[in-house]
Chain A
Amino acid sequence: MTALVFIYLGGVLILIGTAGILRFNDVYSRLQASGVSDNVGLTLLLVGLILRGGWEGGDWAILLLTALLLATNPVATHSIAKSAFVQEHAEKKER
């Protein structure tokens, strides 16, 4: 029951992030919507998948996947944001 709550909450957060990516009108707003809701939603989904079958046989692969997602996704989002910011200001300086 708890696992289903986690999984469905993750699915709802992922749908909210999709609506944000589609509807916002700026790169940074879209990065905010994608970076926050993807991270929380997918982490909730994977934790729910671990809780669903119990810890039998060891779900080390899903745990490793969760840790890898939590380590890489903020770095990728920050990298895209820094790239957009630096390039926008470089274009302004050239004019």
Chain B
Amino acid sequence: MIGPVEIAILVSIGAILIRLGLGPTAWDRLLAYNSAANRIVGVLAIAAVTSQESVFLDIAIVYLSLSFLGVVVLARFLERGGSFR
């Protein structure tokens, strides 16, 4: 019943990877990475509920924490004038 929602979220992850690839500035890529990580957390939660495996929820919690840490650290790095070149 909630299979179409999962497929729609996976398609939207694929569409966001386009923005991750051709974003003009570094902040566009950072924002696309943040959105893709949030959608992956949603997919993991749906997979945990449909397959009755609560391990996926623990994976989702750890994944969300680590992606938040990475995004904030990279944003502070770019704010202080760092570049990837």
Contact = CB atoms under 8 A, between A and B. Distances in A.
A67 B18 CA distance: 29
Chain B residues touching A, majority SS: helix
Of the four ranges (under 10, 10 to 19, 20 to 34, 35 or more), the interface on chain B belongs to 35 or more
Given A7-B2, A31-B31, A68 B65 contact: yes
B79 A86 contact: yes
Contacts, number: 125
B12 A65 contact: no
Nearest to A72: B68
Nearest to A90: B81
A22 B27 contact: no
Contacts of A87: 78-79, 81
Contact of A82 (B46, B68, B79): B79
Interface string A1-36: 000100110110011011001100001001100100
Interface string A37-77: 01000100110010011000000011011001100110111
B45 A45 contact: yes
Given A8-B5, A61-B58, A65-B45, A83 B78 contact: yes
Contacts of B48: 61-62
Interface in B52-81: 54, 57-58, 60-61, 64-65, 68, 71-72, 75-76, 78-79, 81
